[in-house]
Amino acid sequence: MSPAPSIHGDVAAGFGPVADAFRRNFTEHAEIGAAVAVYAGDQPLVDLWAGHRDRRREVRWERDTIVPVFSSSKGLSAFALAVAVSRGLLDYESPVAKYWPEFAAHGKDRITVRQLIDHQAGLSGLDRIVTLRELTDRDALGELLAAQKPAWRPGTRHGYHALTLGLYQSELLRRVDPADRSLGRFFAEEIAGPVGADVFIGLPATEPMERVAQLSATKGLDILRYELRDVPLRIGAEVYAKRGLSYAALTNPRPGAPARAARRDFLEIEWPGMNGVGNARALAQIYGAAAGRTGVLPIDDDVLDLLAAADTADDVPADDLVLHTKSRYHLGFRKSRGSFRFGSDKRAYGTTGLGGSFGFADPTTGLGFGYSMNRLGMAILDDVRSRNLRDAVMKCAAR
């Protein structure tokens, strides 16, 4: 058992058990540095941070420490599209090709916006290797994305578009945005700015790298000690064999080793849904604004109703062709389904990130939750540290 670190921050009355769970993540689950936050609308109920932002445990995790949150930024991208829907720039049920004619190539003319952002389009992989530098050429990247052939018949199955979804979302958004903004810029101006959230899709040059926590991979005996139950063995086998949908979806474009993601040349690229960098407070603020309907987000109530819909079942099987687990996606978010439960009921929505980060809205209670850390766990969805925290939150909220 590891020694308990000093816990910093504030907890509202009745939410003390969240601080206890946060402390246990350090003593029992090898946390290095982390933060957790809960907002009721725009009011903070939990805002905690502790530990270290470097592998050697020499530099303290501070209140303003930020860290790569990987696919937790998919929810941020989904909110950006929800803004566009609220303004009548997009319709979830319309074909993507209505807004992006070139996208119709190779039989993609009937793929709807909903099918694309719910990982049903069969575009989870790319036919050729794409470099990080190529992600900065929006016009050339748009042509490559439009020319991609689906890996399965769109709308019949789903498979996690781990690295490609945000690229498609960004190109679609800039096609309809009157200001021709990338998704990263759109998000900064329309969501993060108004909310006051310290999170970025594409780290600005003005943000010092000293704020960004180093990441640490889980290795050796620690895999057995902390992660064995959640290790994605079948995914690992496909990646090792360099074949299959998992391999195609998780290795191209090539971001490099996840533990090396806290570097300027990676974080400065706008790669929506993949390389967001921020903290738990920012995630909780945005999800809290949505769950509590504070009015600060430029998203109409009827669109927020769609995001919170409890019944999202459709004809698509729950088996994920990429993650080899059962999952349900809804308008760019994950929903609480099956063995992966979060929030107080099926209205909850959010997204997880590689390594364990998580942000979600719980519309029934009006709460927004955020968790960020720098030890990268190996769970496909349900990291034990995040689970401990959100379970404590929901028990406190139910009292």
- pLDDT at residue 388 tops 70: yes
Burial label, 86 (beta-carbon count in 10 A; 0-12, 13-18, 19+): middle
CA distance 119 to 320: 9
| C-alpha to C-alpha distances, 381 to 195, 308, 352, nearest whole angstrom | 27, 20, 7
Sign, CA dihedral 374-376-382-384, equals negative
Examine residue 253 and say whether the peptide bond preceding it is cis (omega within 30 degrees of 0).
Answer: yes
pLDDT tens track for 21-48: 999 999 999 999 999 999 999 999 999 9
- pLDDT at residue 50 tops 60: yes
- Catalytic center residues: 71
Q: What is the CATH number of domain 60-389?
A: 3.40.710.10
Q: Please state the separation of Cα 60 from the chain's center in Å.
A: 25
Q: Quick one: what percent of the chain has pLDDT higher than 70?
A: 96
Q: What is the mean pLDDT of residues 156-164?
A: 96
- Our CA dihedral for 158, 163, 167, 170, rounded to 10 degrees, sits at 80
Structure confidence at residue 36 (pLDDT): 98
- pLDDT at residue 106 tops 60: yes
Structure confidence at residue 235 (pLDDT): 86
Q: What is the mean pLDDT of residues 75-80?
A: 98
Residue ranges of domains in the chain: 60-389
Phi-psi region at 196: left, alpha or beta (left = phi > 0; alpha = psi -120 to 50):
left
- pLDDT at residue 112 tops 60: yes
DSSP alpha helices (H): ranges in 12-95? 16-28, 73-86
Band (298; pLDDT cuts 50, 70, 90): very high
Write down the mean pLDDT value for the chain: 94
CA distance 106 to 147: 7
CA distance 261 to 367: 30
Tokens 């929506």 -> residue: 272
CA distance 159 to 341: 19
Cβ–Cβ < 8 Å for 22, 76: no
- pLDDT at residue 232 tops 80: no
Reduced 3-state DSSP string for 132-169: CHHHHCHHHHHHHHHCCCCCCCCCCCECCCCCCHHHHH
Structure confidence at residue 104 (pLDDT): 98
Sign, CA dihedral 199-203-205-208, equals positive
pLDDT tens track for 174-209: 999 999 999 999 999 999 999 999 999 999 999 999
CA distance 137 to 152: 28
Q: What is the mean pLDDT of residues 367-382?
A: 93
Band (336; pLDDT cuts 50, 70, 90): confident
